[in-house]
Structure 1
Amino acid sequence: MGAEIECYTLRHFHAIQLILGGIDSATAAKWMGHSQLMFDRVYLHWMDERHHRKLFDRLVDK
């Protein structure tokens, strides 16, 4: 019994991991084949509050 995973689920996971790994959204968008606006609309809404907090803390520490 395995969980069914769709291609776009893996794509969304990968995009979120790029951002959490410190890649800026403009670069991640380019790598994913999107404009930055499209990338932000499609992928950033998948992130929950703890992901947003982690990104904020990373930006403040720079």
Structure 2
Amino acid sequence: MPTLVISTALDTMATPYHHRQVADGIPGARFAELASGHLPFAEAPGEWLGLIRAFLDAQA
């Protein structure tokens, strides 16, 4: 199943290290990093949505 793991680089609750572990545990997962804290949809909504849209567009 195509999977996108978005790492929030400024997140102190779930760190980029943990995000990378998740991505590495899913065969073929795509990893993307966003300069945001724990709530990317509130802190960087345009960038967050852009990553998701680009990923979904690539699946079509």
TM-score, normalized by length of structure 2? Answer: 0.29
Structure with a larger share of its residues in strand: 2
Greater relative contact order (Cα < 8 A, sep 6+): 2
